[in-house]
Structures are given as C-alpha cells and as structure tokens.
Amino acid sequence: MTPADLDEIMEIERLSFLSPWEKTLFVQELKNPRTILRVVREKARVTGYLALYQVLDEIHLLSIAVHPDFRRKGTATGLLLETLSDCRRQGGKTLYLEVRENNHGAIAFYRRLSLVVAGVRPRYYQDTGENALLLAGEIENILKVLPP
C-alpha cells in the first residue's frame, strides 16, 4: 500500500464498515514500521487490502476488506494467507483479531480459516455498543487452508 492507493481504499472502507477508518489513520499506519499494509490489485484497480502488525510471535489483524463487487472470489483469503506466510518467516505463530459479533459474513470467513473464539470484549464498538469476539488461530493451521 502506498499513499497513492488511499482514495480507492477509502471508497472500499466506506462501502465495508459502519465506522470507516479516517484517511489520516492510514497515513499514520503507513509510517509505522510495525504495521504491514498490503493491497490487492486487479488490473490497475485496488480491490482489497489488509492492515496488521506483528509483535514477536503475535500477529494482530487490524483490518481487512474487499470491494463488494469483488467478494467471494478468494481475494481476502489469498491476501491473508500470503501475508501470514511472510509473517511466519519473521517468527509469527498466532493470529488475533476482533470482529463484531453480528458480522456473520466475516465470522464465516474466519471460521473457514480455522480461527476460533478466544474471548468476548463486551461493548467494544462505541458506535453500536456491540460486543467484539476475539478470534485466534495458529498460523501453521491457517496456512493449511486452501484458497476457495
């Protein structure tokens, strides 16, 4: 991801999330050496992206989204598996993330990748008061899952 991608990413953000990240947050994360930001392009167009950071053997997925016109084609799976494979080479072992408990599509996506519920963070999301599910999975197991 580069600053030149941010207009397309902001469109995906707005189409994907109730409370999208501000552009300034992406600019800030692009400067953060711990944060990995990657995009997927189809031809010249950005169709998806992810943000995560790694601390020793822990990987925290901050965000992942695919443009609605490009979903259910394996884009997010491919992007995540490729990035986790790189993280494993840097010592990454376990993936953690939070997801809204009513985000059934994303939860199905993560379950397919063998992630399990490791905890609940009550009223984690300020906009709706929704709980977050804390999901976790071993990268070794996630990498055994094939793209659809």
Residues that bind ligand COA (CB under 6 A): 16, 64-66, 71-77, 99, 103, 105-106, 108-109, 112, 148
Give the sheet arrangement for strand 132-138, strand by strand.
35-42, 45-55, 58-66, 94-100, 132-138, 116-121
Say if CB 70 and CB 78 are below 8 A apart.
no
Rounded-to-integer distance, Cα 82 and Cα 78, Å: 6
- Cβ distance to ligand COA smaller for residue 30 or 134: 134
Give min distance, CB of 83 to ligand COA, in A: 13
Least gap, CB of 72 to ligand COA (angstroms): 4
CB of 96 to ligand COA, least distance (A): 11
